Amino acid sequence: MFNTNSHHPVVDGLPLAALRNRKSFKWRGFPADVLPLPVAEMDFEIAKPIRDELIGMLEVSDTGYLGPIPELGTNLAAFALARWNWKVDPEQIFTATDVGVGMVEMGRTVVKPGDLIMYNTPVYHNILNWIHELKCEAFDAPLAKDGEHYTLDLSVVEAGYKKGVKAHFLCNPHNPVGTVFTKSELASLAELAKKYGVTVFSEEIHAPLVYESGAFVPFLSVSETAREVGICVTAASKSWNLAGLKCATIITAHPDQKARAEAMPMAVHYRASLFGAVAAARAYECVDWLDAALVTLDRNRKFVAEQLAEKLPTVGYRIPDCSYLAWLDLTSLNLGENPTEVLMEKGKVAFNAGIDFGPNSGQFVRLNFGTSEEIISLAIDRILAAVNSK
Q: Could you tell me which stretch among 93-101, 140-148, 249-257, 309-317 binds ligand PLP (CB under 6 A)?
A: 93-101
Given candidates 44, 75, 83, 98, which one binds ligand PLP under the rule CB under 6 A?
A: 98
How many of the other CB atoms lie within 10 Å of CB of 15? 11
Q: Could you tell me which stretch among 20-28, 59-67, 236-244, 343-351 binds ligand PLP (CB under 6 A)?
A: 236-244
Given candidates 37, 47, 171, 209, which one binds ligand PLP under the rule CB under 6 A?
A: 171
Q: How far apart are CA 63 and CA 42, in angstroms?
A: 25
116 to 145, contacts with ligand PLP by CB under 6 A?
Answer: 124
Helix (H, G, I), strand (E, B) or coil at 216: coil
Nearest distance from residue 52's CB to ligand PLP, in Å?
23
Check if the beta carbon of residue 221 is closer than 8 Å to that of residue 86: yes
Q: Could you tell me which stretch among 157-165, 235-243, 272-280, 308-316 binds ligand PLP (CB under 6 A)?
A: 235-243
Q: How much is the CA Rg of the chain, to the nearest whole Å?
A: 20
Given candidates 131, 248, 250, 283, which one binds ligand PLP under the rule CB under 6 A?
A: 248
Does the protein bind ligand PLP through residue 86 (CB under 6 A)? no
Q: Check the CA dihedral 274-108-86-39 and report its sign.
A: positive
User: In this complex, which beta carbon is closest to ligand PLP, that of residue 46 or of residue 387?
Assistant: 46
Nearest distance from residue 124's CB to ligand PLP, in Å?
4
Does the protein bind ligand PLP through residue 292 (CB under 6 A)? no
How many of the other CB atoms lie within 10 Å of CB of 28? 11
User: In this complex, which beta carbon is closest to ligand PLP, that of residue 12 or of residue 105?
Assistant: 105
Q: Check the CA dihedral 120-124-129-135 and report its sign.
A: negative
Does the protein bind ligand PLP through residue 243 (CB under 6 A)? yes
Q: Could you tell me which stretch among 13-21, 82-90, 94-102, 284-292 binds ligand PLP (CB under 6 A)?
A: 94-102
Instruction: Give me the 188-207 binding string for ligand PLP, x by CB under 6 A, dash otherwise.
Output: ---------------x-xx-
> Residue 233's closest CA among 253, 214, 219, 248?
248
Q: How far apart are CA 8 and CA 6, in angstroms?
A: 5
Does the protein bind ligand PLP through residue 92 (CB under 6 A)? no
Does the protein bind ligand PLP through residue 322 (CB under 6 A)? no
> Residue 64's closest CA among 280, 283, 278, 282?
278
Does the protein bind ligand PLP through residue 40 (CB under 6 A)? yes
Does the protein bind ligand PLP through residue 240 (CB under 6 A)? no
Check if the beta carbon of residue 96 is closer than 8 Å to that of residue 232: no
Check if the beta carbon of residue 208 is closer than 8 Å to that of residue 290: yes
Nearest distance from residue 7's CB to ligand PLP, in Å?
30
How many of the other CB atoms lie within 10 Å of CB of 18? 12
| C-alpha separations of 154 from 143, 161, 361, 372 in Å | 9, 10, 21, 38
Footprint of ligand PLP (CB under 6 A): 40, 98-100, 124, 171, 175, 203, 205-206, 235, 237-238, 243, 248
